[in-house]
A = this chain, B = another copy of it.
Amino acid sequence: MYGRRQERAQFFRHHGFRCTLPREVILDILYKTKSHLSAEDIYFKVHPIYPQIGLTTVYRTLDLLNKMELISRFDFGDGKARYELIKEGDTSHHHHLVCRKCNRVIDYTDFMKEETRFIKKIEEVLSKKHNFEIDSHKIHFQGLCSKCKSEGR
């Protein structure tokens, strides 16, 4: 969906939004980049190629993509929001280990089968109990990364 211009354009229009250059470019960068990008990160990636695209637009686009549930927003404790594309298929589903000292983030994909089973069960119960429409979940481990551990806390 994200790979082809035509599909992207349709996706925006389906949601009642226009497909513009900044939106295409930003979505493209998120598509091509694995790591967890902040608005500024994206701005500096975009700027050399499209210097007319401003930081404000990056913020607005990230907000839009988030509302469209194309991307997820994370807080890893470094004072800026970070974003990741939500890809289709189970292959990319992952969660994070976050170092509470240096804020380093490690992605993991272990135990996803079991997780899915477990999460599905909770979701069923919670969504009924609280009349809540659950559409995503995040799991987040905190602690000390190898580097910070060896340097002493």
Binding site for B on A (CB under 8 A): 73, 75, 77, 97, 99-100, 106, 108, 110-111, 114-115, 118, 121-123, 125-127, 129-146, 149
Contact = CB atoms under 8 A, between A and B. Distances in A.
| Identical chains in the assembly | 2
B111 A133 contact: no
A133 B143 contact: yes
A138 B140 contact: yes
29 contacts: A97-B126, A97-B130, A97-B132, A108-B126, A108-B129, A108-B130, A110-B122, A110-B129, A111-B118, A115-B118, A122-B141, A126-B141, A127-B143, A130-B146, A131-B145, A132-B141, A132-B143, A132-B144, A132-B145, A132-B149, A134-B141, A135-B142, A135-B143, A135-B144, A137-B139, A138-B139, A138-B140, A139-B140, A140-B140
A115 B108 CA distance: 18
Contacts of A125: 110-111
Contacts of A129: 108, 110
A141 B146 contact: no
Contact of A131 (B110, B139, B149): B149
